[in-house]
């Protein structure tokens, strides 16, 4: 996608600040076009040879139209509903992640099938969550979010277990990436600059090469539920396409492709996490590892 940093405003030739309503414009011309469109203000026509566009509303508006500026039609109600639901689920996940820690030694099956999880509120200034606190909460919140997708209640117990276990780490990786982006960090970190791996890993870590890729199949799902999941997948994909076209207009297809390319990056990161944990778990002589982390390891050795 072309950057506005070195672009000129298509209306007044000033410095463009962004891609607005179908053209690179400065903020002033963006606001002018939106104001004219929303108020339908009457403009006095002129001969169209004004020396300065900002002194003539008519010429300035005509230049906006010549540059291809137009108000996009609003997104359809189904797309808006999907986006609102996803925003709500993510906000709920983030709020729970930021304010609480789970109690007890939970297993992945506990998270998947229990109706609720016991939490304790994070203490204020004196309380400093470590890696295990943040990581456990990351897993709890990711699974809880996945269980709230509409199609999950159609799945059998085995299907639900397979769906969650084969996808929840990918959600965690995406959330880690977004969190690090917002905090302008060059690497994955938890709040308070806590590393995404326990401190002891740094003393013994050796990357294992040649570990076979984990291929996740869908053979456990019934044909009917495969169809249900496929329908929801298509709805989410369609919503993403329409959102990209609406927001980025002519650059919408490029933006959509860029977003999909993140899937491969997430998969590669997932494999990297697995290599680190395999090495770590092999060094745990006392077997004193919480259930959630043992369950995570199972994804790579089953």
DSSP label at residue 251: G
Long-range Cβ contacts of 184-191 (<8 Å, 24+ apart)? 190/129, 190/131, 190/134, 190/135, 190/138, 191/98, 191/129, 191/134
* Structure confidence at residue 197 as a pLDDT band (50, 70, 90): confident
What lies within 8 Å, CB to CB, of 15 at 6+ separation is: 7, 8, 9, 26
In the predicted structure, residue 209 carries a pLDDT above the cut 80: no
Beta bridge partner(s), residue 101: 120
Residues 30, 161: Cα–Cα separation, whole Å: 49
Task: Report the run of H or E that residue 158 belongs to, with start and end.
Answer: helix 157-165
pLDDT value of residue 241: 92
Beta bridge partners of 15: 8
Percent pLDDT > 70 in the chain is 80
Number of residues in the chain: 302
For the stretch 23-50, pLDDT in tens is 889 999 999 998 888 877 777 777 666 7
Give 133: exposed, middle or buried? Use CB within 10 Å, 0-12, 13-18, 19+.
middle
How far apart are the C-alpha atoms of 208 and 283, rounded to whole Å? 13
Please compute, for residue 237, the number of CA atoms within 13 A of its CA located in the half-sphere on the CB side: 8
Here the tokens at position 293 are: 């982390």
CA dihedral 204, 205, 210, 214 (to 10 degrees): 110
CA-closest candidate to residue 195, choices 115, 280, 125, 264: 280
pLDDT exceeds cutoff 70 at 174: yes
DSSP annotation of 51: S
Pairwise CA distance, residues 49 & 59, whole Å: 8
Q: What distance in Å separates the CA atoms of residue 158 and residue 220, rounded to the nearest whole number?
A: 7
32: tokens are 């002018």
pLDDT at 2 over 70: no
CA distance 51 to 250: 31
Q: Which range among 52-61, 129-138, 233-242, 269-278 shows the weakest confidence by mean pLDDT?
A: 269-278
List of domains in the chain: 1-71 (3.30.50.10), 77-301 (no CATH)
Backbone angles phi, psi at 214, to 5 degrees: -85, 115
Nearest to 48 by CA among 35, 63, 31: 63
Q: State the Cα–Cα distance between residues 54 and 301, nearest whole angstrom.
A: 67
In this structure, are strands 23-25 and 18-20 parallel, antiparallel, or unpaired?
antiparallel
Residue 290 structure tokens? 């919480």
Helix (H, G, I), strand (E, B) or coil at 290: coil
Run of H or E including 121 = strand 119-121
pLDDT confidence of residue 216: 47
- The segment with the largest mean pLDDT, out of 101-105, 138-142, 266-270, is 138-142
pLDDT of residue 86: 94
The confidence score (pLDDT) of residue 302 equals: 55
- The predicted-structure confidence for 102-113, as pLDDT tens digits, reads as follows 777 788 888 899
């Amino acid at each position: 996608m072309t950057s506005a940093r070195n672009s000129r405003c298509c209306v007044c030739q000033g410095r463009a600040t962004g891609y607005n309503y179908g053209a690179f414009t400065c903020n002033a011309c963006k606001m002018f076009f939106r104001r004219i469109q929303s108020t339908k203000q009457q403009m006095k026509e002129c001969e169209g040879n004004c020396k300065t566009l900002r002194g003539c509303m008519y010429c300035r508006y005509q230049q906006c139209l010549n540059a291809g500026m137009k108000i996009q039609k609003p997104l359809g109600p189904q797309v808006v509903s999907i986006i609102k639901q996803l925003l709500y689920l993510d906000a709920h996940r983030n709020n729970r992640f930021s304010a609480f820690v789970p109690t007890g030694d939970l297993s992945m099956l506990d998270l998947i099938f229990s109706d609720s999880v016991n939490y304790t509120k994070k203490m204020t200034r004196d309380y400093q969550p470590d890696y295990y606190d943040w990581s456990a909460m990351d897993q709890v919140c990711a699974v809880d979010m996945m269980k709230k997708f509409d199609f999950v209640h159609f799945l059998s117990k085995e299907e639900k277990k397979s769906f969650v276990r084969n996808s929840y780490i990918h959600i965690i990786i995406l959330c880690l990436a977004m969190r690090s982006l917002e905090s302008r960090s060059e690497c994955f970190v938890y709040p308070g600059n806590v590393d995404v791996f326990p401190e002891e890993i740094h003393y013994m870590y050796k990357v294992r090469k040649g570990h076979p890729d984990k291929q996740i199949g869908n053979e456990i799902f019934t044909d009917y539920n495969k169809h249900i999941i496929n329908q929801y997948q298509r709805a989410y994909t369609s919503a993403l396409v329409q959102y990209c076209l609406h927001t980025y207009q002519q650059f919408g297809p490029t933006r959509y492709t860029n977003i999909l390319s993140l899937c491969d990056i997430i998969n590669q990161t997932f494999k990297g996490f697995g290599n680190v944990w395999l090495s770590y778990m092999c060094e745990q002589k006392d077997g004193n590892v919480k259930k959630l982390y043992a369950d995570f390891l199972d994804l790579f050795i089953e």
